Amino acid sequence: MRPLEWINGNIQFLDQTKLPLEEVFIKTDDVVVLTEAIKRLAIRGAPLIGIAAAYGVALAGLQYKKTDANELRSHLHSTINILASTRPTAVNLFRALNRQRRVLDSWQSNSVVDLQKRLVDEAVRIHQEDIEMCERISSFGVELLPQSCSILTHCNAGALATGGRGTALGIVTKAWEKGKIKCVYIDETRPLLQGARLTAWEMKRANIPATLIVDSMAAVLMKQGKIDAVIVGADRIAINGDVANKVGTYAIAVLAKHHGIPLYVAAPISSIDFQIKTGKDIPIEERDGKEMTEVFGKQIAPEGITVYSPAFDVTPNEFITAIVTDQGIVYPPFSESIHLLQSRISHP
């Protein structure tokens, strides 16, 4: 299952707002359609947002039918800025756009066809790299899990959120293949139910034993000794190891710490923002209040009630056991280990 593909100058994506009731694929060569899909969460998940944005820049280049190099540059910079405004928290979006901006800035030939090819090639490269990163994360992370373990996960960090098998759920599927998984407990993940709609859908497709729970049930399961580990993804990680993930993650982290249960964060290196020192500096997206007051178009709260609906919260590093990256597992103290990791790699 591929939630997003590049097909002969078009993007085809699975509209994740329709799941699990319908599997609707949309094919488009219009960057406006793609931009709106990111905004309304038809395309979602930090790595997949970055991939989609990279393809969006390529689409904008292909849409340009003139030969004026300066006008094309202006058009593409404008497109990059529009795509950058879609989702403020996921750093993968900005990394992918910066890579396309560097392709544009290094363009010297003034051949429109040449630039179009370069932008497409870079987007395809970003997509392929994510597939490979997911595999490495899965291989590293599976070694942390004991035999016959039960995992709790929050939101969706699987194939629907990435270019490959997923980050948090990539570890789960790899562990299932190795016979390590007894059960996966899935938080419903209010308000948009990414756990109930998306993670449960992925687990069913993979035939992995899974149980859906309301978000507030996690504490009871932990007290009953039914959770061996918590695995979540990340939208942005500060260099001190603070992690921004789907709202509700912090509460689970506090519960896991209290019950002595390890909490693992799974994310590619591209999710680490080396410019942000702590989680306090991570921009947190606030969503439309209707996502809380309405469910599938049906109003469930009083008209006019004040709503506070951040899409993410920040889990402080002291609640995190380890961060599983595509370059290896990072342990506390995170400020030191992430710095060492940064010194070993070259950033795209």
Give the pLDDT score at 312.
Answer: 98
Closest among 239, 211, 201, 220 to 323, alpha carbons compared: 239
Give the pLDDT score at 66.
Answer: 86
pTM: 0.95
Residue 256 contacts residue 223 (beta carbons within 8 Å): no
* Band of pLDDT at residue 348, cut at 50, 70 and 90: very low
The residues carrying an active-site annotation are 235
- Spatial separation of the C-alpha atoms in residues 52 and 40, rounded to whole Å: 13
Residue 100 contacts residue 122 (beta carbons within 8 Å): yes
Give the pLDDT score at 25.
Answer: 98
Identify the residue whose tokens are 């960090």: 157
Digit-coded pLDDT (tens) for 240-259 = 999 999 999 999 999 999 99
Digit-coded pLDDT (tens) for 290-316 = 999 999 889 999 999 999 999 999 999
Give the pLDDT score at 119.
Answer: 98
The token duo for 316 is 């402080």
| Structural domains in the chain, sorted by start | 4-135 (1.20.120.420), 138-344 (3.40.50.10470)
Give the pLDDT score at 346.
Answer: 55
Digit-coded pLDDT (tens) for 94-109 = 999 999 999 999 998 8
Q: What is the mean pLDDT of residues 273-291?
A: 96
Residue 137 contacts residue 325 (beta carbons within 8 Å): yes
- Burial of residue 257 (CB within 10 Å: 0-12, 13-18, 19+) is middle
Digit-coded pLDDT (tens) for 33-49 = 999 999 999 999 999 99
Give the pLDDT score at 1.
Answer: 78
pLDDT of 347 over the 60 cut:
no
Digit-coded pLDDT (tens) for 32-90 = 999 999 999 999 999 999 999 999 999 999 999 888 889 999 999 999 999 999 999 99
Q: What is the mean pLDDT of residues 145-150?
A: 97
The whole-chain average pLDDT of the chain stands at 96
Q: Is 325 helix (H, G, I), strand (E, B) or coil?
A: strand
Residue 1 makes CB contacts below 8 A (sequence gap 6+) with 14, 159, 205
In percent, the amount of the chain with pLDDT more than 90 equals 94
pLDDT of 272 over the 50 cut:
yes
Neighbours of 280 (CB within 10 A): 11
